[in-house]
Structure 1
Amino acid sequence: MSDFERDYPDHREAPYFEHGDEPQCNTSSNRNFYQVMEARIERRGFLMGGLATIATGLFGSSLSMLNSSTALAQPASGLLGFKPVPVSMDDTVVVPEGYRFQILGAAGEPISGDMPAYRPGANTGAEQEHQIGQHHDGIHFFPIDGSSEDGLIAVNHEYIEPRFLHADKPGYKGIAADDNFVALDADGKRDDDEVRMEVAAHGVSVYRTTRQADGTWAVVADPRNRKVAAVTPIEIAGPVRGSSHVVTKFSPDGTRTRGTLNNCAHGVTPWNTYLTAEENWAGYFANTDQVDQKPDLPREHARYGVSTNPQGGRYGWHLAKSGADEYVRFDASTKGASAAEDYRNEPNAFGWIVEIDPFDPDATPVKRTALGRFAHEGVVFAPVVEGAPIVCYSGDDARFEYVYKFVSDAVYVPGQTDGSILDAGTLYAAKFNDDGTGEWLALAPGRNGLTPANGFADLADILVNTRLAADQAGATKMDRPEWGTVDPGTGEVYFALTNNSRRTQAQVDAVNPRAGNNFGQIVRWRYANTDHTRASFEWDLFVIAGGKATSALFNGGALGDDSAFACPDGLWCDDNRRLWIQTDMGDIGPDYEGPLKEFGMNAMLAADPATGEIRRFLTGPWGQETTGVVTTPDGRTMFVNFQHPGAHGSAEDFAAGKYGSGFPDYDGSVPRSATVVITREDGGVIGA
């Protein structure tokens, strides 16, 4: 499997690259997940849980191809009561018979201040500060007084597309602009108001929504509505607070920073606050420091992919014409005599889990550094036990990165425990063994080689360099760990491993695109006595994604017409144990030709964890990623996000006023990410 360690010279040329994906940064010799699985097959001839064969296209000719006859209907389940929808190539939302949907909280919708109206491609930065951000991802509904008809929505905004935000402005309108394009003036500078708008479109939107008399849902003005954006003041808590790693010109004592970036998935604490995860944040910064005309990045920049390009990473915010401090900080080059005089440490203030109290607009958000610094996809809590530690999990969404677990030092006390419990504890990285067992490797001073002699001075140093610590400890390199969830019935943990295309350029062609793992899989693990604090676990694969001949289920079957999918991303188990699976195959449009075409547009499916039955529940419009899912407490209303519709559109089409998708307005204006509200026509529980 050594070929899987190779990558493209330019990672943006790899199949399924999405705007903002970081380059491969893990050069450690730790085994990857495929090597573990291969060894397991060679030793035992099967995978735990009954998965007896794996598709040849995924693991090689030594394994027999799954016969398409195994793609029979899975055992009937009382858990899934809807008729599955077919694969779709249409620019629309498709839900099962007997269901309906509406649009809620699209990008640009006003939520605060004087409620500035959405003007497609023409809003100002000041207006965007009071509007819902762009590119929705993780989402949660916080009921007000336990209501299933009135609550606060918290929704992440993963990134932006400047060409859509500024579509009607000079420098964009009629310009051949792709999703990386930003307009620069003759001096190579950026317009300040455009930067202000982009900064405001990041982060998290919190707004109240209420079910109306006609059954629809609406955004409601409320004092709690607000934005936590890329410039919002945020406290740093935990072991890294006050350390030299986060000393900046803005915070010489290393206790504060500004903003949260690239907010992907999320988590909800047992004390009812919102956690937002900073994922591909490294690409927002530039560091042009050199020695002997070669880049000279500290390890806490290099291991995470901070750009060495003078124009910077994704948007060049540090090039704002005014030179305002809130924008200059995205240049992490050494400029002053000490760290307190520049922003060389600014990237170290990102890559964390951030806690937000949705009910208190005056509460300062907090970065919980004990949970580690990496490309967090989200965070999921194990069921809480009074008098026992808090346990939560997070995946590092990049190729060959790791899965992590945090166990608090203090124990959970209902009504007393708050976010400070997350500031002291032990962070672990997962090692998956060949025999179906696994172990958690402590990332703590003096353990697993994390000593000063090996370059880890103290706990703060370990946490700022979490990836390097996991390298040293010997964790198993995974295929882009995405969302996780916990089955409320069994306590089993599920994690989506979305894909990993790792081939040389010469190996890629339209017919043979699967030298690597193009379709992804879902891994799960369990503990003796369902005790999540244990250091050991047992694991198997719930499903290897793909089509009839390239997929496998733990029960020995395969996916069929109503269940085939690729690139699992979002995962969520509802209170009834339905496992909701969302896909992210990239920015696929109607003209796509390639290995993922058979799966149509990105979709959401529902699974029965006990039987393995899977049914496709919905499909979305062109170019979007299906991501973020939650229901009201009664399970009768579901909120799902569609991110970056139209992102597949070419620069030439944009110049001609063709935007790739009409969603959600279908009036010729630029497409917008939005939340879709799904209900049953008979008012029943979603999915039942």
Structure 2
Amino acid sequence: MSENKLTGRHSDGDFQLNLSANPSLSDIIAERHSRRNILGGMAAVAGLFGLSACGSDNADDEKAYAAGNINAGQAGASTSGRVVTLNGSALRNSTVTWTQVGGPAVTLTNANTLTPTFIAPSVAAATTLEFRLTAVNGSTSVSQDTIVTVSPAQLGFTAVAKNKNDIVTVPEGYTVSVLYRLGDPLNAATAAFANNGTDTGYANRAGDHHDGMAYFGLAATGTTRDATNSTRGLLVMNHENITASYLHANGPTTVSGARPEAEAVKEIEAHGVAVVEVVQTAGAWSYVQASTLNRRITPNTIMAFNGPARGDAQLRTVYSPTGVAGRGTINNCANGRTQWETYLTCEENWAGYFRRGSADNANRSAKAVVALNRYGVTQGAAGANNWATVTAANSADQGNFAKWNVTVDTTKAADGTGDYRNEANQYGWVVEIDPFNPTSTPRKRTALGRMGHEGAWPAAFVAGRKPVFYMGDDSRGEYFYKFVSATAWDVADATATDRLAVGDKYLDAGTLYVARFDATGNGVWLPLVFGTGVLTAANTTYSFANQADVLINTRLAADVLGATKMDRPEWAAVNPANGEVYLTLTNNNAATRPLTGTDAANPRHYNDPVGTTANYGNPNGHIIRLKEASNNPEATTFQWDIYLFGAGADLNATNINISGLNDTNDFSSPDGLWFSRPTNAGGLVNPLLWIQTDDGAYTDVTNCMMLAAMPGRVGDGGAKTITNTGSTGATATQSTFVGAQPGLQLRRFLVGPKECEITGIDTTPDGRALFVNIQHPGENGNATTITSNWPASQAGTTSGRPRSATIVITKNDGGVVAL
């Protein structure tokens, strides 16, 4: 650590007035040492803990202290985001007040005491803050100043060790609280959750498999939004899937014919999205069970279609013969949020829910068969959970189950308005939800394309520049996309009250692009626009009829444009300080990415065995990043490199563990990805990047985890040639571009409970509360063989079925999490 130099008349440490006859500090200093050297050393030590020491360095201050019995202390140091305590001294009966007299403004807590605190502000370089302590005793008023030097933010925690415990493990100095769990009631009329498989009414309970999530500030009173509020808000989150073995008393009923209606209803309602009010009271977080803003959105909730595909023939069903409406959203994985404070939920692996008859191809056009096959809705598919087999007791409910069967009914109209042959086309979209209006109808934004949407993450909104959203398509060999709105951003829309109308303005028209990552380290955004290039009716792979056809069949359009197939493109995140875009590529296998099938953007093929089982391909995944030309997200070209390669610390450092990971930061299968908010020090200057894992390759060593990083910039590394090895021992080389090794700028912050996935993340605007979702703990167990007791195990209980849940993590001293 460099030497701390004191300047001026300053203080900030633990010196208090002492009326004993012991020698004064000045006497001791005069006798042995330089006072500057002693107190400088104390400030240096205190700075490690985000605190500062106290003292005085001026003869006039000595006289003032003697006359008025006041000491503001010694200059000290801290870093952005940490809690700083000012420690002053004054005569016992004095009235004291601290005020700030210089530097970036901060909020002093308990300013009328001798030990007020504040959060060190975000700075790009060492910056001084000056504070004044004023003491009044009778008719005597005396003041003294102190300086605190604040340096840029840095990671401020000790890495968590890898482990296979059945709790959420976080660094020392942090607290984990369980906030919102599977089955928690969301209104006053719903009974407490029994957690034994007998519970019903999931349309009014927390759903299962908590996933992507966002926090929306709520006014301290009333139901209006307040984007700055860090103690009351709405958590909006996806409930992606279910663990059916725990959802029912004895697991799903095994039947040869129709599924029991009650079981199917429970499973369907446990999917979707939740809006839940949360509040911090006396430092503790809880959800508000009876909030009027609480809401569940399920696969049965009415939806509206907007954008170019609205009303297209491929969206018509018996429920909506005009193709403008539908029911429900499902398999909602990641998310996004808009500048006008709406939530974007994204439909990912929806295709597997549909049943399709074994002879259905014969009743469809060749073009329709190509489209269905490309999305995985294949002939003969049974459909996950067999919901299509249910016969509803109330005929009015039958459509909720019949829609999961997309087999053509030849007795119905050939245009699809008499059955559900087109129902699969109603899924795979980005859905916009207004969290502040529980009666609003969610809107499926078709201009953003149809795929296995992982999320929709915005670039920074700049007045006069068109809004941009980045999107991954989560499947092996799929693509990375962005949507550029047709309308330039007007900052007045950020506070509009009709939020979905603002969404109409920016999300219903624009250009969808798909990425091509070239071997040069550059890339191109290819526009998916009907009538340009190969996206015409003359295309021999698929004859595109119009722009709606391009968007409904986005994957086919990306295929023919020659986009780069990626290793499961999942979450994206945009660095709020410089606009660079990060994308997790979770993993790939040898079938999809063989030894001879690598490319510069997906360069590795190797073996990382799970136990004794060989595991070839890219089982640990990587994180790629790109820099838009001229730092403009509307650009059509970019530069890229690979920020991180997932790997165990023990793997070959030359060709596998290329990022030089060690036991404090090695990981596998990056999935969730998120930058801290720019409303606090965690998201400014060099923002925190949070990395979450959904792992199958490293879970023989450790449970899934979350890491915090402070990444560099695209191009901070260089070119590299990797030697890959196949299962036969054959080798092949692949050139690529790699970022600088992260070193101490990447650390493991959290390890989850058994068999879970870590997914979903946001903070309060002040960064002092971190929300994280723990999905499907104990997923390999069942009602008779329970393999995790989390979240009960977090409190030491070793019984009970596991439940997906949201946790909140806070720093014990109240500082910004991770700094």
The TM tier, using the shorter chain, reads 0.7 to 0.9
**Using a 3 Å threshold, how does the CA distance of structure 1 residues 555 and 525 change in structure 2: closer, same or farther?**
farther
**In 2, Cα distance between equivalents of 1:378 and 1:599:** 29
Equivalent residue, structure 1, for 2:245: 163
Residue 105 of structure 1: SS of its match in structure 2? strand
Call closer, same or farther: CA 1:258–1:162 in 2, change over 3 Å. same
RMSD, aligned CA? 2.4
Contact 1:566-1:599 within 8 A present in 2 as well: no
SS of 1:679's partner is: strand
Pair 1:285 & 2:386 matched: no
Distance 1:527 1:248, change over 3 A: same
SS at 2:467 equivalent: strand
Find the counterpart in structure 1 of residue 259 from structure 2. Answer: 190
Give the alignment partner of residue 83 of structure 1, picking from 158, 175, 184.
158
Structure 1 position 671 matched with structure 2 position 756: no
Q: Is the 8 A contact 1:276 1:355 kept in 2?
A: yes
Contact 1:116–1:130 at 8 Å: present in 2 too?
A: no
User: Is 2:586 the counterpart of 1:502?
Assistant: no
Does residue 1:413 correspond to 2:545, yes or no? no
**What is the percent sequence identity of the aligned residues?**
42
Give the letter aligned to residue 253 of structure 1. Answer: T
Distance 2:613 2:401 in 1: 44
CA displacement at 1:385 relative to structure 2: 1.1
Aligned equivalents of 2:786, 2:361: Cα separation in 1: 45
* Equivalent-residue separation in structure 1 for 2:477 and 2:702 (angstroms): 27
Q: Which of 301, 309, 318 is the aligned partner of 1:249?
A: 318
Shift of 1:509: 8.3
Corresponding position of 1:20: none
Quote how far apart the aligned CAs of 1:530 are.
Answer: 1.1
Question: Where does residue 384 of structure 1 map in the other structure?
Answer: 461
Please name the residue that 2:470 is paired with: 393
- SS of corresponding position for 1:452: coil
Counterpart contact for 1:564–1:599, Cα < 8 Å:
no
Match of 2:623 in 1: 522
Alpha-carbon shift at residue 410 of structure 1 (Å): 1.1
| TM superposition shift of 1:325 | 1.3
SS of the equivalent of 1:217 reads: strand
TM-aligned CA deviation for residue 219 of structure 1: 3.1
Q: CA, structure 1 residues 156+292, in 2 after alignment: closer, same or farther (shift >3 Å)? A: closer
Moved more, 214-223 or 489-498: 214-223
SS in structure 1 of the partner of residue 558 of structure 2: helix
Q: Give 1:465 deviation, angstroms.
A: 0.5
| Shift in Å, 1:556 | 7.3
Distance 1:519 1:557 in 2: 12
| Residues in 1 aligned to 2:654 and 2:701: alpha-carbon distance in whole angstroms | 16
Aligned ranges for residues 264-283 of structure 1 at < 5 Å? 264-283=333-352
Contact 1:138 1:264 in 2 (8 A): yes
CA–CA distance in 1 between the matches of 2:176 and 2:667? 22
Note if 1:642 corresponds to 2:642: no
Normalised to the residue count of structure 2, the TM-score between the two structures is 0.69
AA partner of residue 695 (structure 2): M
| AA of the residue aligned to 1:116 | A
Equivalent runs, 1:309-458 vs 2, <5 Å: 309=380, 312-322=382-392, 324-335=398-409, 336-338=412-414, 339-416=416-493, 418-420=502-504, 421-454=506-539, 455-458=543-546
Please give the per-residue CA displacement for 1:366-411, whole angstroms capped at 9, x wherever unaligned: 0000101000111110101111111111000000000001111111
Tell me if 1:97 matches 2:166: no
Q: Structure 1 CA distance, aligned partners of 2:654 and 2:626?
A: 17
Between the aligned partners of 1:501 and 1:605, the Cα distance in structure 2 is 24
Deviation for aligned residue 1:643: 0.3
Say if 1:606 and 1:615, in contact at 8 Å, map to a contact too: yes
Task: State how far apart, in whole Å, the 1-side matches of 2:363 and 2:746 are.
Answer: 52
Deviations 1:413-441 (A, max 9, x none): 12237111111011011000001000000
SS at match of 1:216: strand
Q: Taking structure 1 as reference, are residues 607 and 550 closer, same or farther at Cα in structure 2, changes over 3 Å only?
A: farther
- 2:693 maps to 1:583: yes
Q: Which string of whole-angstrom CA distances, capped at 9 and with x for unpartnered residues, describes residues 103-141 of structure 1?
A: 01101001126132212133454x211001000000111
Confirm whether residue 572 of structure 1 aligns to residue 666 of structure 2: no
Question: Which stretch of the first structure deviates more once superposed, 545-554 or 333-342?
Answer: 545-554
Residue 608 of structure 1, aligned match among 705, 710, 713: 710
| Secondary structure of 1:449's aligned partner | coil
Q: Could you say which structure has the larger radius of gyration? A: 2
Letter in 2 for 1:226: R
Amino acid in structure 2 at the alignment position of 1:257: G
Counterpart-to-counterpart distance in 2, 1:249 and 1:260: 18
2:548 match: secondary structure: helix
Q: 2:560 aligns with which of 462, 465, 472?
A: 472
The 1:359–1:434 alpha-carbon spacing in structure 2 relative to 1, beyond 3 Å, is: same
Stretch moving more, 284-293 or 551-560? 551-560
Q: Is the 8 A contact 2:211 2:760 kept in 1?
A: yes
| Cα 1:659–1:291 shift into 2, 3 Å | closer
Number of the residue aligned with 2:376 = 305
Q: Following TM superposition, by how much is the alpha carbon of 1:598 offset from its aligned partner in structure 2, in angstroms?
A: 6.2
Tell me, in whole angstroms, the C-alpha distance in 2 between the residues paired with 1:282 and 1:315: 13
TM-score computed with the length of structure 1 as normaliser: 0.81
Aligned with residue 491 of structure 1, among 579, 586, 591: 579
* TM-aligned CA distance change 1:510 to 1:419, over 3 Å: same
Find the aligned partners of 2:625 and 2:610 in 1 and give their Cα distance.
32
Question: Aligned pair 1:534/2:635, yes or no?
Answer: yes
Shift in Å, 1:517: 0.3
With CA pairs under 8 Å and 6+ residues apart, which has the higher RCO, 1 or 2? 1
Paired residue type of 2:691? I
Deviation (angstroms), 1:281: 0.2
Contact 1:212 / 1:218 at 8 angstroms: preserved in 2? no
Structure 2 residue corresponding to 1:628, chosen from 740, 760, 763: 760
Segments of structure 1 that go 5 or more residues without pairing to the other structure are: 1-75, 587-594
Give the conservation status (yes or no) of the 8 Å contact 1:544–1:553.
Answer: no
Residue 116, structure 1, aligned to residue 116, structure 2: no
Q: Deviations over 1:249-301 (max 9, x none)?
A: 00000000000000000000111100001000000101115269899862332
Alignment of 1:174-253 (within 5 A): 182-185=252-255, 188-253=257-322
Amino acid at match of 1:105: Y
Q: Is the 8 A contact 2:279 2:288 kept in 1?
A: yes
